[in-house]
Amino acid sequence: MAEIPEVVAHRGASAHRAEHTRSAYELALEQGADALECDVRVTRDGHLVCVHDRRIDRTSSGRGVVSALTVAAMAEVDFGRSAAEYGVLTLDELLGMACASARPTRLFVETKHPVRYGGLVEHKLVALLARHGLAAPDDPRDSQVFMMSFAPAAIRRFKEAAPRVPTVLLFSRYTGARRGGVLPPWADLAGPDVRLLREDPGFVSRAAALGRDTYCWTVDAHADIDLCRSAGVRYLATNSPEGTRLHLADPDSAHFGSVTG
């Protein structure tokens, strides 16, 4: 039987709590996630915050572009969904949560592009990792942090500054030689959309033959979880870490309300 993938909580346990909130990540840790995933952007006052969209309108009670807002301004905004949760989550806080976890917990950090401040997000990320002692792991295989992006230039920029931190090239379509598992030299892992694996599960083994593990997103349906496991996916990003973890442990049992069937 194929090795069980590591379960990555996509924006926290975002099927159950508002995405990118402290409570979403706290729940993910309670649910036994092996790793946490977040998107980061730079605020007007130079902080890295965990927000997916260019604007905060969809995910909060406020309005505005992240790069034009300060952390102090966003402290007054409700980012919760069913329960009030004020203040944007900073990456510094999330790193602290991961490092303080009772279990070893990896963090997958996606830098968003295009953005107003260009490559500043990668430079800020390297500096923050350095402050936490995470920018130069002795062995990249033991790194607590992975950097990710859809932008090859962003990954290259980060890799030049922090060569020992693993990187993931995210993509939702095949281009050039990528279908064969070929990645740029500065990308350590392949990061395909699960829809690509539905069409071509053999991609994972082709990438593995070239020394590249696979991080697959975003995987919630039982059939997709089974597909990722049988294909040999190393890291599986899901909105429901507990339900996904339980299904991986016992595919024949029903886990009501945890993941989609």
Catalytic residues: 10, 52
Q: Taking Cα atoms as reference points, which of 253, 247, 187 lies closest to residue 31? A: 247
| Residue 144 CA to its chain's centroid (Å) | 13
CA angle 237, 242, 244 (to 5 degrees): 50
CB count within 10 Å of CB 57 equals 12
